[in-house]
């Protein structure tokens, strides 16, 4: 296949990983956008720092899992699979975080620009991305 030949060259592999990263960021952030009770980009445009921190944490988490998959020296195809699994785990963590805080709604607090909750959400995404990434083989 022509794509496999391109990916056998270091520059082609770098472009392949970069393309996968950008595509996955778009797809995975769109999935997060569907499950949150606020519109990330509208809130960020309004200057909502909490949403920016939570979204930034998700972006970092997604890219960090990708980084670990790439460092495992797996193929671009394996990287896509492992990062998808990592994304599902980050998504599960998002729902678990919301479920484990029954005294208030995480999404509502972030939408209302509660920066403590936004920061905590960001740290959870980043922290768990290291745990998920370290388990990538």
Segment 116-137, tens digit of pLDDT: 999 999 999 999 999 999 987 6
Give exposure, 33-57, as e/b (b: 16+ Cβ within 10 Å). Answer: eeebebebeebbeeebebbbbbbbb
Task: Tell me the domain boundaries of the chain.
Answer: 2-134
Q: What pLDDT is recorded for position 1?
A: 63
Q: What pLDDT is recorded for position 137?
A: 63
Q: Is the pTM of this model over 0.75?
A: yes
Contact 51, 43 (CB under 8 A): yes
Q: What is the pLDDT of residues 32-79, one digit of tens each?
A: 989 998 999 999 999 999 999 999 999 999 999 999 988 887 788 888
Q: What pLDDT is recorded for position 3?
A: 72
């Amino acid at each position: 296949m022509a794509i496999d030949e391109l990916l056998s060259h270091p520059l082609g592999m770098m472009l392949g990983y970069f393309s996968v990263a950008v595509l996955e960021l778009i797809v995975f952030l769109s999935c997060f956008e569907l499950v949150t009770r606020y519109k990330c980009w509208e809130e960020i445009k309004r200057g909502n720092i909490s949403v920016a921190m939570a979204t930034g944490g998700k972006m970092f988490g997604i890219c960090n899992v990708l980084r670990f998959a790439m460092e495992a020296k797996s193929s671009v195809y394996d990287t896509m699979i492992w990062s998808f699994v990592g994304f599902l785990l980050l998504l599960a963590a998002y729902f678990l975080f919301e479920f484990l805080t029954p005294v208030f709604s995480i999404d509502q607090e972030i939408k209302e620009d509660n920066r403590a909750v936004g920061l905590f959400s960001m740290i959870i995404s980043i922290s768990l991305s290291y745990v998920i990434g370290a388990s990538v083989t």
